[in-house]
A and B are shown apart, each in its own frame.
Chain A
């Protein structure tokens, strides 16, 4: 029990460190936020949306916005450590390496959820669709968790390559297709008041994906930061 306690403490310490750095600099979340709003606006020009078209594509636009903003945040999680040379410090800490993964995952999730919390009401107003729905919040949570879970693993990889900022989306997008599809379909279903059976199927996929990939990430994370 004691070792579990220590492990959790290490996870939270890493997450808290990232959050504290962000609270002082406020550079990442604000950039993600402005970027998200830009994406929402650009979609409006690009798709020439009338009322019925808006309702059909709302979930898709929303999730593309979230994933793009998420990539922006994920790119910095490990790259920032690498730039400051503080990754070595983290590695020297006498804790299980996966604590670093979970710590980073938590801080990434907090950043993404913060951005989503601001984008949702703005989106509701601009697109004229009410997004205040607890089921939708649940889907957003699951989708963000799956995306962040795989994203944190691959961001750690991408940060250590030569073309790191370019590398992350290329590695991440093809692997996260099920998350995107599941989240978009479930959200569309919820917004269209579809039957529960149709929505539940997609929520199942999200849960299965989240479980499998976080498990795999824990198993292989050690190999990504070996020195």
Chain B
């Protein structure tokens, strides 16, 4: 018997949808047009929140990984896996929205800027995480390996960023202007819109994570039943 959707989750669903509609209104109607970058700047209200939420998601995986290795309780591993998958969704959104912005602003879809490069590597780490899990049949081993790789991968990200940053600052010609551009002046309506978008994305993350976690719990139950059936 699958329990029906809990009341809290149903509420979260509705809150997420409402917040999405409100954020669209804020971004396109309330926030003023940015003087330097024009309309393209509006993509920041989704780009930045999805970027930090993706880091939050992968961070949750690290915490869940440590908790699993300590306790051996599989619910932590299911949380870690769910968070990675939701995190990848946000990361892909970040990458795509960034490219959409970069095309009119930098006149190219992609540059080898430290942030972009690190982010692409980060995404590859979590693709590797999913492939690793796919290649292991034993659920216990899968959980242990997933936890370890989730931790190792996340630790490497700041060092990767730092090393690429150093590499690029030696050749500053390409991206000297970059920082001045991102430090745009935020007017109050922009700031409110930005804060609201961030909260919206955090809520969206929790909602998606919860749905994904419930799915994973069902998966685990099916797997367990199948094991019991094959043993009988």
Contacts and interface: CB of A to CB of B under 8 A. Distances in A.
Interface of A: 150, 153-154, 157, 160-164, 167, 170-171, 174-178, 181-182, 185, 198, 201-202, 205, 208-209, 212-213, 216, 220, 223-224, 226
B148 A223 contact: yes
Given A213-B152, A220-B152, A223-B148, 13 more contacts: A161-B136, A162-B136, A167-B135, A171-B128, A174-B125, A175-B156, A181-B167, A202-B166, A208-B159, A209-B159, A212-B159, A220-B151, A223-B147
Contacts of A171: 128, 132, 149
Contacts of B141: 160
Of A178, A209, A226, most B-chain CB atoms within 10 Å: A178
16 contacts: A154-B152, A157-B145, A162-B135, A167-B131, A167-B132, A171-B128, A171-B132, A175-B152, A175-B153, A176-B156, A181-B167, A198-B170, A205-B163, A213-B152, A213-B155, A223-B144
A153 B152 contact: yes
Given A163-B135, A171-B132, A216-B155, A178 B160 contact: yes
B109 interface: no
Interface string B118-141: 000110110010011001110001
A224 B155 CA distance: 18
Contacts of B162: 178, 205
A7 B162 CA distance: 36
Contacts of B164: 177, 181
Contacts of B131: 167, 170
Contacts of B136: 160-162
A63 B164 CA distance: 17
Nearest to B136: A161
Given A157-B145, A157-B148, A161-B132, A175 B163 contact: no
A160 B141 CA distance: 9
Interface residues of B, number: 30
A208 B156 CA distance: 11
Contacts of B69: 220, 223
Contacts of B159: 178, 205, 208-209, 212
Interface string B168-202: 00100000000000000000000000000000000
A103 to B, nearest CB: 19
A154 B132 CA distance: 11
A223 B146 CA distance: 11
B160 A216 contact: no
Nearest to A185: B167
Contacts of B153: 174-175
A224 B145 contact: yes
Contact of A212 (B144, B145, B148, B155): B155
Nearest to A167: B135
Contacts of A163: 135
A85 to B, nearest CB: 17
A160 B128 CA distance: 15
A175 B125 contact: yes
Contacts of A220: 69, 148, 151-152
A213 B156 CA distance: 9
Contacts of A167: 131-132, 135
Of B128, B151, B155, most A-chain CB atoms within 10 Å: B128
A201 B170 CA distance: 11
Nearest to B117: A177
B140 to A, nearest CB: 8
A174 B132 contact: no
A195 to B, nearest CB: 11
Contacts of B149: 154, 157, 171
A139 to B, nearest CB: 14
Interface in B21-51: none
A174 B166 CA distance: 18
Given A163-B135, A220-B69, A170 B128 contact: yes
